[in-house]
A and B are shown apart, each in its own frame.
Chain A
Amino acid sequence: MKPFDYARAASTTEAVRAFGPGTMYLGGGTNLVDLMRLGVAEPERLVDVSRLPLDRIEAVGDRVRVGATVRNTDLAFDPLIRARYPMLARAVLSGASGQVRNVATVAGNLLQRTRCTYFQDVTRPCNKRRPGSGCPAIEGDHAGLAVLGTSGACVATHPSDMAVALAALEAEVHVTGPAGDRIIPMPGLHRLPGDEPERDTVLEPGDLITAVELPPPPPGASLYRKVRERASFAFALVSIAAVLDVRPDGTVGACRIALGGLAHVPWRAERAEQALIGGPATGEAFLEAAEAELEPARPLPRNAYKVPLARNLIVSTLEELAP
């Protein structure tokens, strides 16, 4: 590990002020410290934001504001979250292990990096880690990687479960930074790789996430389901966060679908949603919507299974949610 300076910020203003070239914010460190050990991240300076007074979950009118440093465990077990956003609690609990969730923060969960083999190995090329060096995953190990929104430069996935639920819930990410405060609606925080795979998000240098604000939950029933070959402590092969509201006449009133494990971003399935809203809530309609969503998928030989997997998962989850 490269030697680095460490400073603990007492306020968000102080944190942003302390940010300079080579600086990274440190939250729970469950991903960043690993990457530093591996030589993937080599910050010259860490500004520890994990003890900022941003660790509260509070109702603000009909919305809920979750501070950036709230630990994943505290988020998942918060009574307000469990009552109003059970899908979010389930998503968080499906991620990592109890020990990791006790340490990991909300903001850190959103900003964790891909677990692509090549990204994490400094002895091999990776466009995300070393722009222009190439993407060996496309010919090599991509079984866990993306099928939607990929580019010739990168097929990485975003690994978070929580972010998938937040994308379906249309959470707002509150950011402060050198240019002042702003609000980024999910799923807009993350970006597709394009020809700049080194950029995971739309954040600018020095931007600091201060909170995630949840609008009132959409009407309807919700579910989070994660598929993985190990029953616990594994990243999603594919995951889904879905909300479905079926009107008394049997048509779909509201529908939100977000998918994990398929793209460089938590993938909001807008095509499927559009196809469903106003139409019948039937298995056939669900299948058509799923196929419409996955039509642009460009699978590689070893992740081709993700397309039928995602299709099945969308259909089965919506069927479970339909009354």
Chain B
Amino acid sequence: MNRIEGRVKVTGLATYAAEYPAEGLTHAYAVQSRIAKGRVKRVDGGPALELPGVLAVLSCEDPPPLAEGVEGELALFQSREVAYRGQIVAAVVADSYENARAAAAAVRVEYDPGDHDVTLRADHPGLYKPEVVNPNFPADTGHGDVEAGLAEAATTVDVTYTTPVLHNNPMEPHACVALWEKDGRLLVYDSIQGTTSDRDTLAKTLGLPPDGVRVVARHVGGGFGSKGSTRPQAVLAALAARAVGRPVKIALTRQQMFDVTGYRTPTIQRLRLGADAGGRLTALEHVAYEQSSTLVEFAEQTALPARVMYATPALRTAHRLVRLDVATPSWMRAPGECPGMYALESALDELACAAGIDPVELRVLNEPDTEPGSGLPFSSRHLVACLREGARRFDWDARDPRPGIRRMGEWLVGTGVAASTYPAYRSPSKAVATLRDDGDFLVQVAAADIGTGARTVLTRIAADTLGVAPQRVHLELGDSALPDAPVAGGSMGTASWGTAVVRACEELLRDGKEGRADTTEEVRNAAKLARQAFGAQFAEVRVSAVTGEVRVPRLLGVFACGHIVDAKLARSQFLGGMTMGLGMALMEETLTDAEFGGFLHRDLAQYHVPACADATGVEAHWLEEHDDELNPMGSKGIGEIGIVGTAAAIGNAVHHATGHRIRDLPLTPAKILMARF
């Protein structure tokens, strides 16, 4: 289906958070720490308050009240401690954005700086084993004897891969308009991936009852996880609005987004693999080293895919975390799977090369009967079918495995493959379906459409259930006043909201007038199974022997994600994920400033994401996979799997083209040239 809101978006009529009008609207601008660690000695708002239009300066000198026990990134101005460079230490409210920004520069902040440490190392003395990794998995798991498995292996690899800090960079900046109603209730227009959870978090943070807050987010210009949880701008807007007694708008700058809206932790990943003479794994060990801030423990579940992918008699996965003087990392498209599968699928390619086995066949050889980490049966698993279908489409069988031997002029040519995977989760959701007086149907759910097409796909799901044309279904989402719904995250939006929509529509068909659904019981009672989507990605690269430039003329993905509810929307999700994976492979990287702390690359001229010219030959295909153990649609989530494995496929192709294995993303001309010369 075409997107229902496509027309209002391309004609500029879709209203985003920062665009809501409000009478007497004022503007807030954040003042950020210039030290990476230490204490705020004094905040002098005097010079700022003398500037035109300035209404208030907020800071730790006069902490605005928050609910008791609020901690972390949302506890604005509650402490004098500085956790990272770029942390919000004060804010100015003024009658215009320009006046607020100018005044923010005039706020004088004095610090007692401490010695900061912002560098992740695998031998950092502060590394520890977290209780759980995101969201709630054991940090370490294992079975069998890894050392014995490696000792008896015919072929082993012991390699370390590293990935840099990556930033989500949605197109729409994090923004918020906050208004306090006369009855003490708070209305918030936020750029957020879930209005229900944002409402609950804001209420808890501000010490209000849940019905004291309403969050509206009808259109969201991307999030990729960075809007999956409440960000400081929403709390700041609410506090500022209370301080000045007028509505307040905040739109973070791109530079501020780099500092306070989360990022993907850098990783150092050691992989040890052993295989017998036939290519069957004898051992697999995946250890991930990662960082978090001193404010919040966020431990990315990087080694998780090793618990899912391949059969092995000996498996060990482990996560080690160090708390540095850095901003808090958070979710970024496929947290865990994305960096973890980069390292695992690259190491598997190294094993294939070392063992002289085709990398597609090596994966097929190690296909497990049940989920290796849990022993649970899969509800469905078609990795092998994806590999086979991809190989057929890509003409993989014609490939000469020898690296570094194909040339077109100055361009070295190579191909690579990697697997993709992402869990198929579902969360409880509510929905209401109503027969309107005009005979059309109203379907309401507090889902979020962050550019994925949620509004469209839910309309289609409702129409299919009701047996009517989609034009007769009117879907409302993006408002916490609607029936509670989980965030657009974890690739579970369609599965969660869709289940509720189907149940509400079924109820309406029975009732004739209205249907209300709450899927808590249904989700809780689902059979205990491993539910997982799979895919295979194939890349062709050209690497310039002159310049080290890497181009990707072809990137082909085949996915098995249950029933694809809407082909057009699904294709966009796959292509978007794969393109983002291409960016991760070749260019995306945020540098951390060892000298001053904070991040150095803080805009889109420095943090490069792919341009159209980089993504000229991206294709996505899927298998029609039947799985009755998922949800009424039979669907698995597709928002994230596209980015999983892409970087490995490209890195493996770069090795095939050049004969050089670069184990540090991104694969820049600098690294390729320095490896070759």
Contact = CB atoms under 8 A, between A and B. Distances in A.
Interface of A: 1-3, 39, 115, 117, 120-121, 123-124, 136, 139-141, 143, 227-235, 237-238, 302-305, 308-309, 312-313, 316
Interface string B646-677: 00000000000000000000101111011001
B608 A230 contact: yes
Contacts of B608: 229-230, 234
B594 interface: yes
Given A3-B102, A233-B611, A305-B670, A124 B549 contact: no
Contacts of B613: 230-232
Among B545, B602, B673, the most chain A Cβ lie within 10 Å of the Cβ of B673
Interface residues of B, number: 40
Nearest to B673: A305
A292 B279 CA distance: 52
A300 B295 CA distance: 35
Interface centre among B545, B586, B593 (most CB of A within 10 A): B593
B605 A115 contact: yes
A231 B668 CA distance: 12
Contacts of A121: 600, 602
Contacts of B586: 229-230
B546 interface: yes
Given A304-B674, A305-B674, A229 B600 contact: no
Contacts of B614: 230-232
Contact of A124 (B101, B596, B669): B596
B616 to A, nearest CB: 8
Contacts of B610: 230
B549 A227 contact: yes
Nearest to A227: B547
A312 B595 contact: no
Interface of B: 34, 98, 101-102, 105, 410, 545-551, 586-587, 591, 593-596, 600-603, 605-606, 608, 610-614, 666, 668-671, 673-674, 677
A117 B600 contact: yes
A139 B595 contact: yes
20 contacts: A2-B102, A39-B105, A117-B591, A117-B601, A124-B596, A140-B594, A141-B591, A229-B550, A229-B668, A230-B610, A231-B551, A231-B613, A232-B613, A233-B611, A302-B670, A305-B548, A305-B674, A309-B670, A316-B410, A316-B546
Contacts of B548: 305, 309
Contacts of B674: 304-305, 308
B611 A231 contact: yes
- Chain B interface mostly: loop
A156 to B, nearest CB: 14
A229 B595 contact: no
A302 B547 CA distance: 16
A2 B594 CA distance: 31
A303 B671 CA distance: 10
A309 B547 contact: yes
B587 A230 contact: yes
Nearest 6 A-B pairs (CB), nearest first?
A: A231-B613, A232-B613, A305-B670, A232-B611, A227-B547, A316-B546
Given A235-B605, A305-B548, A309-B670, 4 more contacts: A123-B34, A231-B611, A309-B548, A309-B669
B101 A237 contact: no
Given A117-B606, A309-B548, A143 B670 contact: yes
A241 to B, nearest CB: 16
Residue among A2, A227, A238 having the largest count of chain B Cβ atoms under 10 Å: A227
Contacts of B601: 117, 141
Nearest to A311: B677
Contacts of A115: 605-606
A312 B547 contact: yes
Contact of B98 (A1, A123, A304): A1
A109 to B, nearest CB: 16
B611 A140 contact: no
Contacts of A303: 670
Contacts of B670: 143, 237, 302-303, 305, 309
A229 B666 contact: yes
Nearest to B549: A227
A139 B673 CA distance: 22
B296 to A, nearest CB: 24
A303 B551 CA distance: 21
B547 A136 contact: no
A143 B589 CA distance: 12
Contacts of B611: 230-234
Given A140-B593, A309-B547, A237 B669 contact: yes
Nearest to A115: B605
B549 to A, nearest CB: 6
B549 A232 contact: no
A15 to B, nearest CB: 26
Contacts of B105: 39
B600 A141 contact: yes
B123 to A, nearest CB: 21
A205 B546 CA distance: 42
A227 B669 contact: yes
A115 B607 CA distance: 12
A309 B601 CA distance: 23
B669 A305 contact: yes
B423 to A, nearest CB: 32
A235 B611 CA distance: 13
A229 B595 CA distance: 26
A229 B587 contact: yes
Contacts of A143: 670
Nearest to A305: B670
A234 B614 CA distance: 12
Nearest to B596: A124
Contacts of B595: 136, 139-140
B593 A141 contact: yes
Contacts of B591: 117, 141
Nearest to A302: B670
Contacts of A308: 673-674, 677
Nearest to A136: B595
A158 to B, nearest CB: 16
A313 B677 CA distance: 14
A229 B669 contact: yes
Nearest to A312: B546
Contacts of A235: 605
A175 B551 CA distance: 42
Contacts of B594: 140
A305 B667 CA distance: 13
A39 B29 CA distance: 15
A3 B102 CA distance: 9
Contact of A313 (B98, B546, B605): B546
Contacts of A1: 98, 101-102
A94 B595 CA distance: 34
B606 A136 contact: no
A39 B677 CA distance: 41
A304 B101 CA distance: 39
A140 B593 CA distance: 7
A115 B603 CA distance: 11
